[in-house]
Structure 1
Amino acid sequence: MLCFVSTWDISRSLLSSCWKGKALHQNTSIRKTGRLPCIETNGKRRYSRSGNLASREMSTGSDPHPDANSRHEPFVDETYPGTATVRLRSVHERVEQLSQQDLSGSWDEVRRKLLWAGGLRDLPDAKPGAGYTGHSFNDYNHCDLTTMRDDEADNENEGKVEGMAWSNQLGPGIKIASLPELGGGGSWSTCMIGCNKDPPQDVAHVQFRSRIAFKLVWIPSKFTSFVLVDDAGNLLATGHPKGALPPLEERRTNFRVVQGSKYATAAADFVN
């Protein structure tokens, strides 16, 4: 049977519909106009490489969460092939579990929940480069939650991202800090400098060749609340934390870094 599906935008709803064995063009928000041919034979679907998504052959009844230590990724994002797609979907599922109350407690607790949702351990006492996550979401810059494949985790900047150190070996820390139960690959709170360009020229998209699972953006003009947005800039959640927040100038700079891009739209809609 020949069917056609929309070009993949790595949204959770699209992945979910495929794993459930449904036609991908149903119950999916279509963001691109391309069509991706799909041939179904003997209960298996094969997708061509003509669009953004290339899929290895996968049974329609397969487990959506393969073994955490497996390097197998049922989907390959051709635009950003470094994306750990199963892990990204798992992060979105965890974000959905966070209530408004979860994201409106003390900042310390909210930040720990963001780490948990992103598949990261809370390791404030580890050494930098050895799994330290005390900086994650605590400054203006380390606010991209990125899920990258194992074979991309050791990539270094080497001049790819403007304003970043030439050598920024993150691989060992990613392996230590990443929670394995979310799927293969790893998670990290990467620097978002350069995300206001089109296409984004930040660490996630350039160094790791990966989409982001979510980005934290502080809402102007008080900068006491934040939004979480996905790789396309769509709103995932809002938070109103209390207590000792990151310094005000860090929160202001956070919004300036995304200003003028798709990642600023959701925050601008909530300007207070």
Structure 2
Amino acid sequence: MKKTVLVTGASAGIGKATAIYLAQHGYNVYGAARRIEKMQDLNQYGIKPVSLDVTSEESLVACVAHISKEAGGIEILVNNAGSGYYGALEDMPISDAKYQLEVNVFGVARLIQLVLPTMRKNNFGKIVNISSVGGKVTLPLGGWYHASKFAIEGLSDALRKEVKSFGIDVIVIEPGGTKSEMTGLGSKYMMKVSGNTAYGSLAKGVSQMYAKIAKDAAEPIVIARLIQEAIEAKNPKTRYAGAAGAKLMLFLRKILSDKQFDKMVMSQMK
């Protein structure tokens, strides 16, 4: 029997690459996103596109109910949908910050709540939460993005302990620089909110650093392979890091003090 997987944020980047890769490796894949028109090409891989807005309770409930009715339940959940807006804390409207947390944290948590009853009943489940290297290390002007990814790390650690006895694995994926439209959109937003404020020169520095990251960014397939490795491992690791710069940044964060790490990051902004 093919295992049923739900991949959120499947209209582009890591989500789309993961949906295709898992479908090609024998999984029954549902790809979910708001922009259903951007997922029509997934049909050719046998992937079933589903409309999903992770900020809408109605949409979340309908998505899980639809898959449960068709496939009997979701065995593997890949929480990939995300928002990556940057901007100085002082400049960024709280309404935008709340939206980012709604997408990156509360949407993830609600979807987990909805799939857990079936996973518990079956004594099997894999919950894969896409965090980021930015869930462990920070750049200036990324306060709310980092807050959301740090939250995913903590949420996943607590959840892992809660559901282990039910045969459910919770896995965190920490991508480094990966090709996606999110980087460009986040940078554009940052320049809009902070480009002409007291943080303008810092915003330009961060933007230049992002351009460098984008140039060396890995293809999303790198993360798709990592996800496959994680869900097929008999005893999966709690965290998998991959793509450009991921392991190096996490290693440096581990060995440097806070102030040393800050100094190193800020030296890249010049």
TM-score, normalised by the number of residues in structure 2: 0.27
Where is the helix percentage greater, Structure 1 or Structure 2? 2
Answer 1 or 2: which has greater strand percent.
1
> Which is bigger in relative contact order (C-alpha 8 A, separation at least 6)?
2
- Name the TM-score, length of structure 1 as normaliser: 0.27
